[in-house]
Structure 1
Amino acid sequence: MLTFLLLSLWTSCCAANDLTIMVLLPVTGDWPVGQSIAGAVPVAINDIVKRKDLLNGHSLNFVWNDTHCDPGTGLGEVVSLYLQLGAQLNAIIGGGCNQVCEVVGLLAAHWNVPMISWGCQSSQLGHKTEYPTFARTVGPLDKSAPIILSVLLHFNWRRVVILASSDTGWQLASEEIKVVLRCEMDEMLSWFL
């Protein structure tokens, strides 16, 4: 993921020798997944720095901020850093939480800064007119129904149970899965919850 981002940055910017990436992680708040994955950031940066063919004389720096999985906090962190760095902010990685990615993604587009997320699955982020600089390594939840249908058909499975959290994104995904399965497999399913 970082390699792709760096190659994109290399072709689009950087007369300066420093590349600065902001990493947004939810370390505290409703979904503190950042606590378990934050250690991967310096490892990835070190791996990239070791490869002489990627940076070509540039240095790579990162700054990380805790978004608390809150859009206001995430927005505040990004604006604060942008006020310090301005055009020296070369990319944003993260969000992790849909509500953070949605607001930060709009700012990234306005600033023409690439943003890549490892966890945001909101279908809103797929609107390229609003989020032209946004990319992600996971698909939107509302597009998971065809994948699940294919797996069920491939293995000839006839029983389905869907367990979903109360989070809006997961509820929308589970409803979409229900609709697709009822439409495509209604007579083949023996029960559905």
Structure 2
Amino acid sequence: MSSKTFTLHCIFVLCLVSLSEEKLKKVKIGVILPMTGNHPWTIPQCGPAIEYAIDTIRKTPNFLRNYRIKVSYKDSQCSQVAAPHAAIDFYVEKAAHVFIGPACKYAVAPVARFSFKWRIPVITAGALVSAFKDKGEYKLLTRILGSYAKAGSFVMEILNHWHWKAVGMIFNDIVGDNSNAGKSNCFFTLEPIYKALASMHGKKPWHLNFDESKTTVADYESFLQTASRNARTNQRMRHILSSATVRM
């Protein structure tokens, strides 16, 4: 084979490869998660699982044939500013048919609001706050884990089973000088329980919030003493006081 013939043969093969690649449809996945930080869903933690899932799809015969999956990553910084900026970049670059993430509650909220206008679904393992169930506001948001509301239903089942009606809540929250940081996970976890109790009994349950970064051992003792006066039925209190009197 002459060098000219060989060259033409290589060009023909390259053209065939190029044409075959053009026939492949692309599925573009935009991952918006924090790169660092104390979060259960950072890119170093979730990235290998995403790549494994894609590799499994590629190795599965007749599944998504003629499709090529491309994954791109952007750092959400778990921020309500950085996350929507990352989503906008994906949209402008036409680099995503679907978003995985964000997961942090304040980061996912603006992205999930915009996504309907862009026709880009959002799949997240976060967004556990009850407000995200509003499909009028978060139309293309899919949460793959149970929400805080589910945990609230579970706790209410326990309370109803044992006929417990006097319930108090003590929880860590971001208060005082740190209030600009938003509410804590403890707040959002107890929120559906609080609302369910208020609806059931027609009054707000007793609760006390504190900032664990500024709390001492003496403070916790005071919290428990306050709780004992507010989260027990009168009958239970009489029983405790009677028992204490007998021991004296």
Range class of TM-score, shorter chain: 0.7 to 0.9
Q: Are 1:141 and 2:157 matched, yes or no?
A: no
Percent of aligned positions that are identical: 22
TM, length-normalised to structure 1: 0.73
Structure 2 unaligned residues grouped into runs of 5+? 1-22, 174-182, 202-231, 238-248
CA contact (8 A) 1:30 1:69 kept: no
Summarize the alignment of residues 70-149 of structure 1 with structure 2, pairs less than 5 Å apart: 70-84=79-93, 86=94, 89-149=96-156
CA contact (8 A) 2:125 2:145 kept: yes
SS in 1 for 2:63: helix
Give distance in 2, aligned partners of 1:98 and 1:50: 34
Please state how far the C-alpha of 1:63 moved relative to its aligned partner: 0.7
Structure-1 residue corresponding to 2:189: 173
Moved more, 175-184 or 33-42: 175-184
Q: 1:153 to 1:109 in 2, by over 3 A?
A: same
Give distance in 2, aligned partners of 1:176 and 1:147: 11
Structure 1 unaligned residues grouped into runs of 5+? 1-14
Structure number with greater Rg is 2
Q: Could you report, residue by residue, the CA deviation over 1:133-161 in whole angstroms, capped at 9, with x for unpaired residues? A: 1111123324431122224556x596988
SS in 2 for 1:21: strand
Structure-2 residue corresponding to 1:69: 78
Structure-1 residue corresponding to 2:223: none
Aligned residue type for 2:33? L
Q: Could you report, residue by residue, the CA deviation over 1:91-119 in whole angstroms, capped at 9, with x for unpaired residues? A: 11111101111111112111011111111
Give distance in 2, aligned partners of 1:172 and 1:124: 10
Aligned residues: 173
Give distance in 2, aligned partners of 1:92 and 1:143: 24
Q: Are 1:18 and 2:34 matched, yes or no?
A: no
CA contact (8 A) 2:148 2:192 kept: no
Give distance in 1, aligned partners of 2:111 and 2:102: 8
